Each structure stands twice: as C-alpha cells, then as structure tokens.
Structure 1
Amino acid sequence: MSMDNFMTMLKPMLEGAQMTVLLFFIAIIASIPLGFLITLAVRSNFKPLSWFAHGYIYIMRGTPLLLQLLLICFGLPMLPVVGEYLVLDRFVAACLGFILNYAAYFAEIFRGGLLAIDKGQYEAAQVLGLNKWQTTTRIILPQMFRIALPAVTNESVTLVKDTALLYAVAVPELLHYAQTAVNRDFTIFPFFVAGVIYLFMTLIISMSFKWMERRFKFE
C-alpha cells in the first residue's frame, strides 16, 4: 500500500476516532457523578427511592448496551402520543444510552467502595467532632475513590471499546470508517489500523488512571 493510499485511509479513521474520544469524555464526565448519586439513592433510608435505584441498576446491567441504544434511537420515537417529541440526534441518543448504562456500573463500583470502608472510620470521625458533611467529604469519599479507582479504570477501558457500538446506530466513528475502507479496498489492513488506534487510546486512559491511583495511594 502506497503512502498516499495509506493517508487516504487513515484520515477518515482519525476523524472517526475523534467521535470515539468525544463520546468517551461525555460518557465519563456524566456517568461517574450520576453513578455516585445512584449509589446514594441505593443507600437511602427512603425505601421507594432505594427500590427504584436497585431496579434501575438491575435493568441497566441486566440488558445489553446495544439493546438500550437501539431502544433510545429507534424505539422511543415509536411510542404513541409522545414519540414525536423523543426523536433525538443519533449521537445525542448514543451519549444518553452510554451515560445511563455506565452510571449503573459505576454505582455498583462506588457502593462496593463504601462497603469496604471500616465502620470504625465513622466512629472515629464522631469522636473527633466532625459533622456528617465533614465526615463524608474529608474521610469517606477520599477512601471510597481510592478503593474504587482500579475498577473505574477497568470500566473506562471497557467504555472505549464499547464505543464501537455506535456503528450499529449509524453514527460514523472509528470502526465505521475502518469497515468502509475494507469494503472499498478489499483488504483487512484497516481493521489492524483501527485496532492500533483503539490500543493507543486505551493505553493513554490506563496510564492516566494509573497515575491517579499512585497519587491517591501516597496522599
């Protein structure tokens, strides 16, 4: 393959990778705080809220992400009466699907982090005279995030790979352009290039989270 042909193939794939990165950052920035709020809802003493949060997590984790994307993109507009108001841009719909799905996974990760904190930490905070807000922000949350960070790293890497599902809802991303190049040039080489790009993105994300893990460990 000549350099000109390679660049002709690579340019749209890099543009698709930008869409992948954009979806990743939107999903991470929105799903992590939403996941934490769901964790608080699960632990709430208000039973209806706790039951709703448990049900939400069960549904979002128990059904395929692809099914959820198809439902949001193509199913919601078919609802009677309100369907016409639920027609979303494909990328917006995909972002919504990823946020709602990954928030459920992050909620379980954060719940596990909270359960791993010894109850003696709460008692020690009371002895020191800290109120509930101070105990949560200064003692509990830093420990929870340090415990949960490895699992968050793993889910973040999975998120990068799951962005390939955009292909199924007609959002042009990295895999879409790779498939287009394969069909056009009758070679599987674009798939290898796409794999290298995915590996590079996951490497950067893994290194970033590893740096955060080391920082939390020694603070």
Structure 2
Amino acid sequence: MTESLFTLPAVPGIPVNGESATYPIGRIFCVGRNYAAHAAEMGHEVDREAPFYFTKSASNAVLSGASVPYPPGTEDYHHEMELAVAIGREVFRADAQDAWKAVYAYGCALDMTRRDLQIRERNKQRPWDLGKDVENAAVFAPLTRAEAWSPDDDKRIHLEVNGMSRQDATLAELIWKIDEIIRHLSGFYHLRPGDLILTGTPAGVGPVVAGDVITGGVDGLDPIELTLTGAE
C-alpha cells in the first residue's frame, strides 16, 4: 500500500440512535429554495420545474453541541435550519419505491451561510462556494433510523437564537418532497451510503453573531445546538 504524504483531518461520524457505530459522512448535497416563503424572503420565485442543489464538504461538518468560531470574511453570517436525509443504500435513477428504500435515517441539521458572500457571488453569476461551503458550517444532530420516524407533513421544524424564535414551519411546506428529491438527484449521481441531503430551510433565516447559541429541531428527532465563539 502506498503511504500518504500527510494525514487529513478526521471527518466526524454522526451518532445514530440505538447504534454503537456512527454514520460516516461522504457527500453533502443541499437543496436550494425548497420552502416558498424562504425563496420569497430572499427575493426569488420558486422554480417548480426541478429542484437545484449546492454542496458542502464533509471536512466542514461538525456535530451538534459544538462551539465554533465566527467565520472570517463575513459580516452577515446566517442560520438555516434543515431536515437531513441520510442515504443507506446505493441508488441510481430511482423510482418512488427505490427512493424511500434508499433512506437510512433522518436528522436535524444546520446549513450555516456567509450570506453577504453568497449574495455577492450570486449577483455576479459566480458559484456560491465562499458563502456556503464554510468551515464548521454543516452541523448534524444524531440520526434516527427511517423505520422509527416518518417525515409527515404536520411535523414542526423550528430554530431559536438565544432562546428567541427565528424559524417556525412544518414539513408540509417543503416544495420538493423527500422521494422527489432522491428521484431527481439520483438521475445525476449514483447515490450511496454516506451521502446526506439537506432538504432546505423555511422562512426566517437571519444573522447571528459571536456569543450566540443556536438551537433547533424537528418534531420527533434529536434537537441541534451550535455555539458561536469569537472570531479567530
């Protein structure tokens, strides 16, 4: 076996309720503008022809309960509460039945965003990487196996900053449902175990600052928490 020149930082595994082993993080796909009210607050109409995506690096993932520094290069760092879907089997060009069978677990997640950089690059028709693929900006709570939880429309998704409500909606507001997302995304990628899909955020996104404590949840899933410390 060829020896590596150097060792990469370890990517955290996500705890799974009832399991001693953790879920390894592979690829992180994020669905953009998947709640109509959020699209409106960002100044956009919903594209109902097909979902669209951006990605985050696994190396930028952290677990719920972490304390992380306010990131450099931004003066407008935003919270986004999301439902995460963890893939548990390989699937390509899935039909509806295959899509549901591919789901291993669900969990709460945060898609933290340098909003000023995202908007700046978007206005120049450039990629969003500086705004979205930020160190410590993909946050995951422990997962719950799919057989133990269901993404019913009446499930509440919410987020608070320092105990004050910022986001509050239900999964009924998802424009593209979970099976539709998997069916569409698997037409472009061979989805496999370790892939995570963040399904979008409801309205109410907004800025956070150093010292803030972000909490959130989806009914029936482990809640999520992130503390922002001072800038490095």
- TM-score bucket of the superposed structures, by smaller chain: under 0.3
TM-score w.r.t. the length of structure 2 is 0.25
Question: Radius of gyration: which is bigger?
Answer: 1
Higher strand share: 2
TM-score (norm 1): 0.26
By percentage of residues, which structure has more helix?
1
